Amino acid sequence: MVIKVGGMTCGGCAAAVKRAIEGTVPGAAATVSLERGEVEVTGVDVAAAKAAIVAAGFEVAGFEVGG
């Protein structure tokens, strides 16, 4: 799934989003695109990924499930 993330403004923000998602469950993976303001997530359900992003202090601006 791809999640649009609001509030990512630097590399530190991108790293924080990646850590938050990958810390949810073993096997979760996140590929962050700071330029597009989104993160591609695998290995975790959408609710857990969105909750991790919000808990890290960022906004979920939208998402699409599928490939």
Dihedral sign, Cα of residue 42, residue 48, residue 52, residue 58: positive
Q: Which domain holds residue 20?
A: 2-64
Residue 54, amino acid: V
Among residues 60, 63, 28, the alpha carbon closest in space to that of 44 is found at: 28
Q: What is the pTM for the complete model shown?
A: 0.92
pLDDT class of 67 with cuts at 50, 70, 90: low
Per-residue pLDDT reduced to its tens digit, 4-45: 999 999 999 999 999 999 999 999 999 999 999 999 999 999
pLDDT at residue 47 is higher than 60: yes
pLDDT at residue 66 is higher than 80: no
Instruction: Residue 27: give its domain's CATH number.
Output: 3.30.70.100
Number of domains in the chain: 1
pLDDT class of 65 with cuts at 50, 70, 90: confident
Among residues 10, 63, 61, 58, the alpha carbon closest in space to that of 34 is found at: 10
